[in-house]
Amino acid sequence: MLHRIDRVQVTTHDAQATAQRWCQLLDCSLAGTDQIEALNAKRITVHLGDSLVEILEPTGAGFVRDHLALGRGGPFSVGVSTDDVVAMREHLLSLGIEGLRLPGQLFLHESHLRIPGLNVVVSPHRERPTVGLMKNLYEATHLTHDAPRAIAEIARVFGLDADAFVPIHSDQYGYEGALTLFDSNELHRIETIHPFDKTKTMGRFLERFGPSLYMCYGETDDLGAVRERLKSTAPGAWTGSDDNDDGLFIHPKALGGVMLGVSRTSHAWTWSGHPQRRVPGPTGA
């Protein structure tokens, strides 16, 4: 029922400044400003690659203000697209999940989904031109104390084929869980993981904030251009090197609280179950 990751929602105390920072770093463009009454929030939407970033600033009490009050400004919800939002809403209602109706969208808080730490906004699928230095967004990372349960619930709630999911484990970063691929032929997924090592960054984050969204990931056709832009606009706020043509990380302080992983187009298949789909980079590696 899900088509792709098509956006991410983030919370901030200053939507205008955060939007300008995204555009400065990644050459994306402003797509609109409006108010979301159901969330009591001002929204500035940024067009990033063929995806969107919805930047939310609270205007009153509600989920957005609560998220900021917990010190969890940054990733607020993962945006997924579907060919039929009405059919998705009816499917969710059959499971006892109602959510909040936004203009043209359905917002599902973790309390609606009963999946701790996971908020989802469902939008109708739209094909968009690619804008700026990024190609797309394809992943949001969800931290949880109980990855098997969360993974099973994501499959059940959104009607996904769990056989297409890819188990994932990292001793380097201290986590295990799964990539809940929406389609085995595409990278789009929620990475749902349990950080088992409390001495590492993800483990400390889970201990501090509890189950939550942690970061998101996107692709670029020109990693070198992204790297050079970061050198000039955010020195010291990213991790990577001139010797690595496969990916880099932009730190939360550069993007209003969002950690953004950037991988070279197709490289993420290396750890996503189909390494044969990875296309060699500029150096042939």
Tell the residue number behind the tokens 């070198």, with chain if given.
224
Per-residue pLDDT, 133: 98
Q: Tokens at residue 49, please?
A: 């690659």
To the nearest 10°, report the CA torsion of 274, 203, 149, 52. -60
For position 19, what pLDDT does the model report?
97
Separation of alpha carbons 281 and 230, rounded Å = 20
| pLDDT for the residue numbered 3 | 94
The CATH homologous superfamily for domain 136-273 is 2,3-Dihydroxybiphenyl 1,2-Dioxygenase, domain 1 (3.10.180.10)
Same fold, 4-124 and 136-273: yes
What local confidence, expressed as pLDDT, does residue 285 receive? 62
CA 140 from chain centre, in angstroms, equals 3
User: pLDDT digit string (tens) for 135-190?
Assistant: 999 999 999 999 999 999 999 999 999 999 999 999 999 999 999 999 999 999 99
pLDDT of residue 125: 97
Superfamily of chain region 4-124:
2,3-Dihydroxybiphenyl 1,2-Dioxygenase, domain 1 (3.10.180.10)
CA nearest 260: which of 61, 41, 74?
A: 74
Nearest CA among 157, 63, 64 for reference residue 114: 157
Order the strands of the 51-58 sheet from edge to edge.
29-36, 41-48, 51-58, 4-11, 74-82, 120-124, 105-108, 100-102
What does the pLDDT read at residue 1? 80
Residue 143, beta-bridge partner list: 193, 212
Structure tokens at 120: 């989802």
Residue by residue, DSSP assigns 159-172 as: T--GGG-EEEEETT
Phi first, then psi: give them for residue 195, nearest 5 degrees.
Answer: -75, 105
pLDDT of residue 284: 58
Nearest Cα to 120, choosing from 129, 130, 131, 109?
A: 109
On average, the pLDDT of the chain sits at 96
| Separation CA 276–CA 279 (nearest Å) | 8
Integer Cα distance of 70 and 256 in angstroms: 15
Domain locations in the chain? 4-124, 136-273
The DSSP annotation for 157-220 comes to HHT--GGG-EEEEETTTTEEEEE--SSTTS--EEEEEEE--TTSHHHHHHHHH-SEEEEEEEEE
Residues in the chain, pLDDT under 50: none
